[in-house]
Structure 1
Amino acid sequence: MRFGIFIPQGWRFDLVGIDPSEQWNTMKRLAQRADEGPWESIWVYDHFHTTPEPSEEATHEAWTLMSAFAASTSRVRLGQMCTCMGYRNPTYLAKVAATVDHVSAGRVEMGIGGGWYEHEWNAYGYGFPEIGDRLRALREGVEIMKQAWETGSATLDGRYFQVDGAIVRPLPIQRPGIPFWISGGGEKVTLRIAARYAQYTNFANGKLDEFTRKSEILRDHCDAVGRDYSEIVRSTNNNIVVGETEAEVKDRVAAIAARVKPYLSDDGFAREMSKYDGNPAVGTVEQVSEHLQALGDAGSDYTISYFPELAYDTSGAELFEQKVIPELS
């Protein structure tokens, strides 16, 4: 199994209490720590407003961070989970990503999806199209980026995007282009787009039964378009709280709850903490390893780990590095 790690950027109230003037230093320190460790990649989310509810707390922008991480790390690959197609013109996005690929010496991934956070769509003036329109726009955007990276230009007279000989140079260092992570588990459209274009997928958020079912749907889509299913790496995200004992895990979850509670409504707090209640990735080293091994046995070749305490306490991530990764790598 291969391993990536999320760098806290504020979106999940994971930089609260840190002065905004120090937040970049915190993110850079954690990125450089990952660069020196066993992680293959570092990741951020592509969102503008905090979740599970909007607030005045900072959320740092994903592609700005990609460029900054590119210049301040040397080994780890750089990903977004996942870039929202509706937030940037795809030709512009292809240009940005190609530039970051040069800054990073060829370490960029393109995590891309249709988007879902209605509040920030409307607040930023994008409207909030129906899901079918968002996913059809995703397909057009991926086609534009693929053309741009393979040939240096893009032309498409689409329903959502129209480009005519757009020049996108320099070409990315990675050939034939930056790898696509088509993210999301939509069974009729998203997984069909993944079958045609993706080098990687990301779905199910660590839920074993859902991962297994959607993997079979992806296989069916691959058969339909003539794609070798085994070419696509299937990944999951996991919200991880790990300890040596169950009591330690309980204390870690309590510390997370105490940190975020002042910033959330009662409903928002309940929704946030529900992500850890009954989650098989919240547990002892043995329990977390068993869960990830089960995902691996089901075909999850890559897991991306989110540690909610990372900006304040790296001991959980250190335990994972020392006792979980060696077991599963």
Structure 2
Amino acid sequence: MRFGMFIPQGWRHDLVDIDPAEHWQTMHDLAAHADAPDSGWESIWVYDHFHTVPVPSETEATHEAWTLMAAFAASTSRVRLGQMCTCVAYRNPAYLAKIAATVDLVSGGRTEMGIGAGWYEHEWLAYGYGFPDAPARLRALREGVEVMHQAWTTGRATLDGEFWQISDAIVQPKPLQDGGIPMWIAGGGEKVTLKIAAKYASYTNFNGGAETFAHKSDVLRGHCERLGRDFDSIVRSSNFNTVVGTDAADVERRLAAVEARVAPYLGPAGTERYLQGMHSDESLVGTVSEVVAKLEQRRELGLGYAIHYFPEIAYDRSGLELFEAEVMPALA
């Protein structure tokens, strides 16, 4: 199994109580940790959001994804760089293709493109994007992916679409990577998203429990068969909220520390929603043996890449180090 790690960027209230002047150093140091040759991490990731969750905050930072991508490109040397995932509607797709190609050049060919239709209505409306219904957002995703594919494979893009009118946009230099930047199509929509993935994706990213993962995999396989695509050429990935401890008491201690940190900023209802996310089907919360068992189950179902969000690592790396020392070797 291959491993990626989210770098805290404030979106999930994971930089609270740290002076904003120290945020970059905190993020940089964690990126450097992952970048070490023996770390076991293949990639680092950020989220593409503008407002915090589960409560939009007027005071807490959410650092912009592609600015961080450029900074990490210049400040790391080995680890691959991704976003899970870029919202296709937040940037003109030809412009986004240009940004990503430049980041790929700066990084020496280490960029990944996580791309999705977007969902966070509060920030869509606040930033003036409106909030089209889900079918429209998915049609926009299809158009945006086509534009990026053209740009990275030919150096030009043209599309007379419903959402974008691109006329011979030049994207030079193209990405360093042969065939363009690997595309991670994020989301589990069965009729549209997974069909787009079957056509364009090097990787998929969908979450949910083991049963859901198996079902979505079967849907993806069906789309691949209809398009004549080799299903096994697409690596399936999932994201996990991860809190690992030496024993049950250690796990509870870690969760309590996270709760105490975010509660003053989220209020009772927001804190409850936050903690629910730590106990969902998208979470790996438990002892080393429990976390390993859950990941082994997913691997048996075809999970090839696990991307982990550790809510505590801006303040305490001991859980991260435990994961590196005992969970990753068990699944390597």
TM-score using structure 1 length: 0.98
Which of 262, 272, 275 pairs up with 1:273?
A: 275
Listed one character per residue, the Cα deviations across residues 43-94 of structure 1 (whole Å, up to 9, x for unaligned) are: 0000000001100210000000000000000000000000000100000000
Alignment of 1:65-214 (within 5 A): 65-205=68-208, 207-214=209-216
State how 1:234-253 maps to structure 2 within 5 Å.
234-253=236-255
Rounded to whole Å, the distance in 1 between the matches of 2:279 and 2:174 is: 45
**Structure 2 unaligned spans of 5+:** none
In the aligned structure 1, how far is the partner of 2:31 from the partner of 2:189? 31
User: How far 1:166 sits from its partner (Å)?
Assistant: 0.5
Could you tell me which residue of structure 1 aligns to residue 291 of structure 2? 288
CA distance in 1, matches of 2:309, 2:252: 17
SS of the equivalent of 1:172 reads coil
After TM superposition, list the pairs within 5 Å mapping 1:41-52 onto structure 2.
Answer: 41-52=43-54
> Residues of 1 paired with 2:12 and 2:63: CA distance?
11
Compute the displacement of 1:277 (Å). Answer: 2.9
Using the TM superposition, give the Cα deviation of residue 234 of structure 1 relative to its aligned residue in structure 2, in angstroms: 0.1
Q: Name the structure 1 match of 2:32.
A: 32
Q: What whole-Å deviation, never above 9, does each CA across 1:12-33 have from its counterpart, x for those lacking one?
A: 0000000000000000000000
Q: Distance in 2 between matches of 1:20 and 1:218?
A: 42
Q: CA deviation at 1:222?
A: 0.8
1:260 to 2:262 alignment: yes
Amino acid aligned to 1:134: R
TM-score normalized by the length of structure 2: 0.98
Structure 1 residue 275, shift from structure 2 partner: 1.4
Amino acid across the alignment from 1:13: H
How far residue 269 of structure 1 moved from its aligned partner, in angstroms, is: 1.0
Deviation of residue 278 (structure 1)?
Answer: 6.0
- The CA distance in 1 between the partners of 2:226 and 2:255, in whole Å, is 44
CA distance in 2, matches of 1:251, 1:76: 31
Q: Deviations over 1:88-133 (max 9, x none)?
A: 0000000000000000000000000000000000000000001001
Deviation at 1:266, TM superposition (A): 1.9
CA offsets 1:180-236 (integer angstroms, 9 cap, x no match) = 00001111111111011000000015x211111110011111111111111100001
Query: Letter of the aligned partner of 2:2 in structure 1?
Result: R
Letter of the structure 2 residue corresponding to residue 19 of structure 1 = D
Paired residue type of 1:156 = L
Name the count of aligned residue pairs. Answer: 328
The aligned counterpart of 1:22 is 22
In 2, Cα distance between the equivalents of 1:269 and 1:187?
32
Q: Residue type matched to 1:286 in 2?
A: S
- Aligned-residue sequence identity (percent) comes to 64
Look up the equivalent residue of 2:82 and give its one-letter code.
G
Q: How far apart are 1:265 and its partner, in Å?
A: 2.6
Letter in 2 for 1:223: E
CA distance in 2, matches of 1:278, 1:316: 19
1:290 Cα shift?
A: 0.3
Helix, strand or coil: the match of 2:177? coil
